[in-house]
């Protein structure tokens, strides 16, 4: 699962100039309050999609995660989706005489994309566990996806969504100690410079064991991955067959386990957004979502169509769920669909 550093192939994988950086970080000011209705104040999913699909994903995009770090795993998956979509558009432009990469990476993924999209996922805690034995916080990791995304992250668990989809081709630890670009013993703001690690492949330490064993994978059957500004919920199921095998129009139960209590809410299986009944909770698989090979993990949409502006309505999906589960813990609640 790693690239060799001795033959220069790691450097080859990182040779592309950077065209865009997306930083999911706890250092940025929060535009959304921590209290209820936080989803109304931003929609990084839509922002990234618009930038990428319109060809304007460049420069630096900041995504604050201080209040809601649990959103980061979803953000990295969506960004990887967008990078893969760019790959599909650029694939015919590949030049065959460019250097060959390690077999763990898709040749086309890196060489068809003449420039790199880089993600930084940063929640650099300084609690007792993070500074034990004289450590200056936890080390960052570098993950290279099969689709061409370059991810620098701490903690490692932010990669869980990518790992669940078997998208990581190579993984490295980036030792904070003796880092060539900052004072690894005392530097506080490492995330500002961590991308410069790409210029020092000899400092990267390959993670040779199975990536699945190195990432704290999510053992819940499903969870809330995202909530957009219109109150639509993006959920993730470990087995998307729970949804795709259900008949359109069938009424099923959304089971929510929250803080040890179980709740069941009736939802209708719809084909898409416009086919859902007005004002009622509906669930469907979004045709725009990428279906990964050799994995059952997938996203689903939980929505409620309303008349008027949904960003001002109290009848959208998230409010209907909160009526049933007022103390909903977005970060830890478990979801499943049952007949």
Compute CA distances 46 → 52, 127, 197, 337, whole Å: 10, 34, 30, 26
The pLDDT assigned to 110 comes to 60
For the record, the structure tokens of 58 come out as 């460049």
The pLDDT assigned to 3 comes to 40
**Closest by alpha carbon to 108, among 120, 98, 121, 118?**
98
Based on the domain organization, do 95 and 210 belong to the same domain?
A: yes
Compute CA distances 305 → 12, 162, 298, whole Å: 49, 30, 22
Q: Could you tell me if 157 and 215 are in contact, meaning their C-beta atoms sit under 8 angstroms apart?
A: yes
Based on the domain organization, do 198 and 241 belong to the same domain?
A: no
Query: What b/e readout covers 208-240, taking b as 16+ CB neighbours within 10 angstroms?
Result: eeebeebbebbeebbbbbbbbbbbbbbbbbbbb
Distance of CA 147 to the CA centre of its chain: 14
Which one is predicted more confidently, 210 or 288? 288
Compute CA distances 82 → 23, 52, 86, 162, 282, whole Å: 15, 6, 6, 13, 26
pLDDT confidence of 291, banded at 50, 70, 90?
confident
pLDDT confidence of 131, banded at 50, 70, 90?
low
Distance of alpha carbon 234 from alpha carbon 9, whole angstroms: 38
The pLDDT assigned to 332 comes to 97
The pLDDT assigned to 61 comes to 96
Report yes or no on 209 lying in a domain.
yes
Report yes or no on 3 lying in a domain.
no
Other residues' Cβ atoms within 10 Å of the Cβ of residue 269: 19
pLDDT confidence of 191, banded at 50, 70, 90?
confident
Distance of alpha carbon 18 from alpha carbon 21, whole angstroms: 7
Distance of alpha carbon 64 from alpha carbon 61, whole angstroms: 10
CATH number of the domain where residue 78 is located: 3.40.50
The average pLDDT across 307-316 equals: 91
Q: Could you tell me if 64 and 75 are in contact, meaning their C-beta atoms sit under 8 angstroms apart?
A: no
The average pLDDT across 324-330 equals: 96
Provide, rounded to the nearest whole percent, the portion of the chain with pLDDT above 70.
Answer: 81
Distance of alpha carbon 288 from alpha carbon 275, whole angstroms: 16
pLDDT in tens, 7-63: 345 566 688 899 999 999 999 888 766 677 899 988 999 999 999 999 899 999 999
Residue with tokens 């709740």: 263
For the record, the structure tokens of 2 come out as 């790693």
The total of structural domains in the chain comes to 2
Distance of alpha carbon 176 from alpha carbon 135, whole angstroms: 8
Residue 105, pLDDT > 70, answer no
CATH number of the domain where residue 268 is located: 2.40.30.90
Based on the domain organization, do 52 and 193 belong to the same domain?
A: yes
> Which of 195, 214, 233 is the last residue in one of the domains?
214
What average pLDDT is seen over the chain? 84
Which one is predicted more confidently, 293 or 164? 164
Q: Could you tell me if 235 and 223 are in contact, meaning their C-beta atoms sit under 8 angstroms apart?
A: yes
Which one is predicted more confidently, 180 or 1? 180
pLDDT confidence of 2, banded at 50, 70, 90?
very low
**Closest by alpha carbon to 98, among 115, 110, 85, 84?**
110
Based on the domain organization, do 33 and 171 belong to the same domain?
A: yes
The average pLDDT across 318-336 equals: 96
> Which of 197, 214, 231 is the last residue in one of the domains?
214
The average pLDDT across 259-277 equals: 93
DSSP 88: H
Based on the domain organization, do 227 and 182 belong to the same domain?
A: no
For the record, the structure tokens of 13 come out as 């994988």
Which one is predicted more confidently, 128 or 285? 285
Distance of alpha carbon 137 from alpha carbon 26, whole angstroms: 14
pLDDT confidence of 162, banded at 50, 70, 90?
very high
Q: Is 76 helix (H, G, I), strand (E, B) or coil?
A: helix
For the record, the structure tokens of 10 come out as 């790691």
pLDDT confidence of 126, banded at 50, 70, 90?
low
Residue 310: give the domain boundaries.
Answer: 222-338
**Residue ranges of E strands in the chain:** 18-25, 59-64, 116-122, 140-145, 150-154, 168-174, 205-206, 222-227, 233-237, 251-258, 261-269, 282-284, 298-303, 334-338
The pLDDT assigned to 99 comes to 37
> Which of 214, 245, 268 is the last residue in one of the domains?
214
Distance of alpha carbon 57 from alpha carbon 118, whole angstroms: 11
pLDDT in tens, 63-103: 999 999 999 999 999 999 999 887 666 544 333 333 333 33
pLDDT in tens, 203-250: 999 887 676 777 767 889 999 999 999 999 999 999 999 999 999 999
Q: Could you tell me if 321 and 328 are in contact, meaning their C-beta atoms sit under 8 angstroms apart?
A: yes
Based on the domain organization, do 184 and 286 belong to the same domain?
A: no
């Amino acid at each position: 699962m790693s690239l060799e550093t001795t033959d220069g192939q790691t450097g080859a994988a990182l040779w592309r100039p950077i065209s865009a950086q997306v930083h999911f970080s706890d250092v940025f000011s929060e535009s959304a309050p921590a209290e209820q209705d936080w989803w109304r104040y931003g929609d990084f999913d839509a922002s990234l999609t618009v930038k990428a699909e319109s060809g304007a994903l460049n420069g630096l995009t900041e995504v604050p995660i201080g209040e809601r770090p649990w959103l980061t795993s979803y953000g990295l998956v969506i960004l990887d989706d967008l990078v893969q979509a760019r790959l599909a558009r650029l694939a015919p432009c590949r030049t065959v005489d460019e250097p060959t990469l390690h077999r763990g990476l898709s040749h086309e993924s890196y060489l068809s994309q003449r420039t790199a999209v880089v993600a930084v996922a940063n929640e650099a805690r300084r609690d007792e566990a993070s500074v034990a034995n004289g450590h200056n916080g936890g080390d960052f990791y570098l993950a290279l996806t099969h689709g061409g995304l370059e991810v620098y992250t701490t903690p490692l668990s932010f990669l869980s969504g990518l790992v669940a989809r078997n998208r990581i081709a190579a993984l490295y630890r980036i030792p904070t100690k003796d880092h060539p670009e900052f004072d690894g013993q005392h530097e506080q703001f490492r995330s500002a410079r961590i991308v410069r690690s790409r210029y020092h492949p000899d400092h990267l330490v390959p993670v040779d064991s199975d990536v699945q064993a190195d990432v704290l994978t999510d053992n819940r059957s499903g969870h809330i991955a995202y909530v957009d500004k219109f109150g639509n919920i993006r959920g993730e199921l470990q087995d998307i067959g729970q949804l795709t095998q259900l008949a359109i129009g069938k009424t099923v139960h959304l089971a929510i386990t929250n803080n040890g209590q179980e709740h069941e809410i009736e939802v209708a299986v719809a084909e898409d957004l416009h086919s859902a009944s007005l004002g009622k909770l509906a669930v469907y698989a979004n045709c725009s979502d990428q279906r990964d090979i050799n994995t059952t993990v997938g996203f689903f949409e939980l929505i409620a169509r309303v008349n008027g502006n949904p960003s001002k309505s109290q009848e959208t999906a998230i409010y209907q769920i909160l009526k049933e589960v007022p103390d909903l813990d977005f970060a830890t609640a478990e979801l499943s669909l049952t007949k």
